[in-house]
Amino acid sequence: MAATRIELMQQMPIFGAIGAESIEFLLASAPVIEVPCGGYFFREGEPGHGMFVLESGSVTVSKSWQSHELLLGRLAQGDCFGEMALLDLFPRSASVRADADCIAIEFSSANLYRLFERDVEQFALIQMNIAREMSRRLRITDDLLFRARMGEHGSPPGWPHCV
């Protein structure tokens, strides 16, 4: 199972160019979380403690607005979510609910700090990859906002891969 998890993570933008040894080191202290269909990984407004890599299952990402839950996206195996919690100290900006029974790997700030102490270059690369992924999402969000202001509807190419 460890080899499969390493391979899954190496295919993700956040762990791109990260060596198998570093990923294995991260996995050693990362809990595997099971969330049943209908359960929540987290809800909007809760404190954020880490990000998740979805190993199996599918989830819906939603945001509350005027007492309604609005769909932001759907994610499946190999997608990640919650990584903003690794960079800021703000509450969760959205809710993530399991659409099927899910298994995910959770990475916390403490987990990444252990990598920092062991291999600062690999840690820095992960941080840069997270920043690149967040920048990619910001560009998509900017495009969505622009399209909405211009009266267009629909999602731009590349949305969503990671929320």
Q: Please answer whether residues 53 and 89 qualify as being in contact, where contact means their C-beta atoms are separated by less than 8 angstroms.
A: no
By percentage, how much of the chain surpasses pLDDT 70? 93
User: DSSP letters along 15-84, please?
Assistant: GTT--HHHHHHHHHTPPEEEE-TT-EEE-TTSBP-EEEEEEESEEEEEEEETTEEEEEEEEETT-EE-GG
This prediction's pTM = 0.85
Reduced to 3 states, what is the DSSP secondary structure of residue 111? helix
Number of neighbouring beta carbons within 10 Å of residue 86: 19
pLDDT score of 157: 55
Reduced to 3 states, what is the DSSP secondary structure of residue 92? coil
pLDDT score of 116: 97
Measured between alpha carbons, how far is 109 from 130 in angstroms, rounded to an integer? 13
Measured between alpha carbons, how far is 22 from 19 in angstroms, rounded to an integer? 5
pLDDT score of 151: 85
- Spans in the chain with pLDDT lower than 50: 161-163
